[in-house]
Amino acid sequence: MSSVRSASRSVRLLAANLGTRSSILLSRPLTASPRVLRSAGVPSTGIARPSVAIASLPASGGLRHASATTPAGSLKQTQLYDVHVANGAKMVPFAGFSMPLQYSDLSHVESHHWTREKASLFDVSHMVQHHLSGPGALEFLMKITPSSLDKLKPNTSTLSCLLEDGTGGILDDTVITRLSSDTFYFVTNAGRRAEDLAFLQAEIDIYRTKNGTESITWEILDDRALVALQGPLAASVLQNYVKDSDLSTLYFGNCRSLTLTFPDGSTSAEPLLVSRTGYTGEDGFEISIPTAKDSSLPRKVTELLLSNPEQVRLAGLAARDSLRLEAGMCLYGSDISTSQTPPSASLTWLVGKERRDPATANFNGAATILPQVASPAKTLSQRRVGFTIEKGSPAREGAVIVDLNDESRAQIGVITSGLPSPSLGGVNIAMGYIKNGLHKKGTEVGVLVRNKVRKATVTGMPWVESKFYRPKA
């Protein structure tokens, strides 16, 4: 099967999976069905998949949404929905929203390559934007995350995660930006909105009870749109419309409030929060667009960035998924969940080095996480790793990993994400969890694909080198 045909099938499967994930509760063990295992002569040994709990988007509870008004029970629409439809998008359900999977001008593979070679614009307005401020903001965030946020300088960001109290399980991954000493902006996943908001509200209530109601002010920025401009041309394209700031001094993990200038000389009604970050492994920006003074600003900004189609095209969920997997980035609900702590998800680096002293660590789940950081070989049963798999049908989420050296083909792990890599000419890549001790690079294992055991090799991630824009050494 050619890489293009494989990738086309990947799009169809992704569309089907997205529609399912956004509307039902998934909590099955991460193993193949007994029938599939029996047909291949593979016994299950109880390697558990990350527990996935993605519920449909709940009622607003009085919160405003950055979306069009829709009848009760129907999918929400981002502020750019009409732009997607006008550009021939294939719309699919995702996290309670109608989101673009791909567009009529480019196939999934073409869109993927366009992002790697030029620049693509992604609508990520479905994600939840938060603003947290007050004298207790820093202390509060350091309670619910393992990151050394006190070391962040103003206008800098870090990838982090919300931690379940007691277990240290990952409730969600998030990017947290420190805007000032006591003001923070962070973004969480749309598919975890209900769980995240309930968690944050409960934790804030506890904190306010101890420290006063004025200690924390929390705002959900549902009036803002969010777009991601990603690719090697992203900086030069954006610089054309930024007249008062030099983007060559805005490095990965930094942000600025910037005003855009339109071709007629007018400027954006409000500054945009521009962060040099992304989910593709390419250089790029995530742009938070306010609408308080101009409700049409998201559309205007999008049309401005798309004004040269030889440089920038729209891209959807299909390209976003293959790009992030090549970059070795996790998808919540597939690769990480509350069943994983940062160390078991190979995200130990999220735990700040200054926060690893058991005598002083006070973040959620520290008693569970810190022993795993100190002695992973003794405390972890599984590790998240990458795999390169032999030619043939790709290994998909849920495919069982088996030990080639064991005649009984005992299950030793499970695939959580997988597809043919467009950047590598269709080479089958995958991410998953494997039994501790078998996680080292070069280890050969088997993966059950369509009832056949295919050879796979544990591979370092990312498969495609990240091109984040950093200061020169």
CB atoms within 10 A of CB 159: 16
Are the C-beta atoms of residues 91 and 75 closer than 8 Å to each other? no
Q: Which two tokens stand for residue 399?
A: 């495919």
Q: Which two tokens stand for residue 17?
A: 């999976």
Tell me the C-alpha to C-alpha distance, in Å, between residue 429 and each of 25, 33, 58, 385, 432.
27, 23, 35, 11, 10
What do you get for the CA distance between the two ends of the chain, in Å? 44
pLDDT at 473: 77
| Largest Cα–Cα separation, the chain | 72
Give φ, ψ of 139 to 5 degrees.
-60, -40
286 is in an annotated binding site: yes
Give the H or E element holding residue 201: helix 193-211
pLDDT at 17: 52
Residue in 212, 273, 285, 336 with CA at minimum distance from that of residue 468: 285
Q: Rounded to an integer, what distance in angstroms lies between the CA atom of residue 123 and that of residue 99?
A: 8
Residue type, 399: A
Q: Assign domain 333-459 one CATH number from 3.90.1150.10, 3.20.20.70, 2.40.30.110, 3.40.1410.10.
A: 2.40.30.110
pLDDT at 14: 55
pLDDT at 130: 98
Characterize 338-362 residue by residue with b for buried, 16 or more Cβ atoms within 10 angstroms of its Cβ, and e for exposed. Answer: bbbbbbbbbbbebbbeebbeeeebe
Give alpha helix (H) positions in 57-154.
Answer: 81-86, 108-117, 137-144
pLDDT at 325: 98
Please list the pLDDT of the chain residue by residue as tens digits (473 residues): 334 444 445 555 555 555 444 322 222 233 333 333 333 344 444 444 443 322 222 223 322 233 344 444 589 999 999 999 999 999 999 999 999 999 999 999 999 999 999 999 999 999 999 999 999 999 999 999 999 999 999 999 999 999 999 999 999 999 999 999 999 999 999 999 999 999 999 999 999 999 999 999 999 999 999 999 999 999 999 999 999 999 999 999 999 999 999 999 999 999 999 999 999 999 999 999 999 999 999 999 999 999 999 999 999 999 999 999 999 999 999 999 999 999 999 999 999 999 999 999 999 999 999 999 999 999 999 999 999 999 999 999 999 999 998 888 899 999 999 999 999 999 999 999 999 999 999 999 999 999 899 999 999 999 999 999 999 97
Q: Rounded to an integer, what distance in angstroms lies between the CA atom of residue 56 and that of residue 94?
A: 9
pTM: 0.86
